[in-house]
Amino acid sequence: MDRILLGWIVLFWVTAVAEGLQVIVPERTKKAMLFQPIVLSCRFSTSSQQPAVIQWKFKSYCQDRMKEALGMATAGVQPLSKRNLEWDPYLDCVDSRRTVRVVASKQGAVVTLGEFYRGRDITFGEGAELKIGKVMWGDSGLYYCIVTTPDDVEGKNEDSVELLVLE
């Protein structure tokens, strides 16, 4: 009887560890009109009993999307994107080639806005949702929802959504 009980406990523990932290942003791309509100959705599940730290990070485009629209795209970039269909010249580059900043962080009921975003109407909604009261031109780019728990370090702890701000 003890062996059976021990077997179930081990199976339950292995299943819980294999699941780990899972972060999901349901939409890959969101579009918003200039000066309108937007909600960036993010859901997560964890086996941790500790409160999670939720952080949203902004990463600018690797190159300006407007240049392509105006026919001024860099000539060397286009052939690379055709060779590798998974690679996106606007989204895929090292962070040192773009602007990266913390938008907001939340731990329990405490919310902290990143320096660049202080004074703007930015809050957290249900769970890990990020609410931006009025989007600006400079808000176009990638937003990463990152969830950290002290005792659940396995799994996928981040996901991203592209925000396009339109006229």
Instruction: Residue 130: give its domain's CATH number.
Output: 2.60.40.10
What pLDDT is recorded for position 75?
52
Could you report the per-residue pLDDT of 75-103, keeping only the tens digit for each? 554 444 455 567 787 788 888 889 999 99
**Locus of tokens 């249900």:** 126
75 occurs within a structural domain: no
Q: What is the mean pLDDT of the chain?
A: 83
Q: Which residues pair with 143 in a beta bridge?
A: 58, 161
Distance CA 5, CA 107 (A): 37
Determine the pLDDT at residue 80. 47
Q: Report pLDDT for 92.
A: 82
Does residue 127 lie within any of the structural domains?
yes
Q: Is residue 81 part of a domain?
A: no
Whether residue 150 is contained in a domain is answered as: yes
> Is 120 inside a domain boundary?
yes
Domains: count for the chain: 1
Residue 76 located in a structural domain: no
pLDDT for the residue 68: 61
SS3 state at 166? strand
Domain residues for 115? Answer: 25-69+86-165
The pLDDT tens digits of the residues spanning 121-160 come to: 999 999 899 999 999 989 999 999 999 998 888 899 999 9
Given a contact cutoff of 8 angstroms between Cβ atoms, the answer to whether 102 and 114 are in contact is yes
CB atoms within 10 A of CB 56: 25
d(CA 159, CA 128): 12
- Mean pLDDT over 30-45 rounds to 96
Tokens of 151: 């005792």
Give domain status of residue 102, yes or no: yes
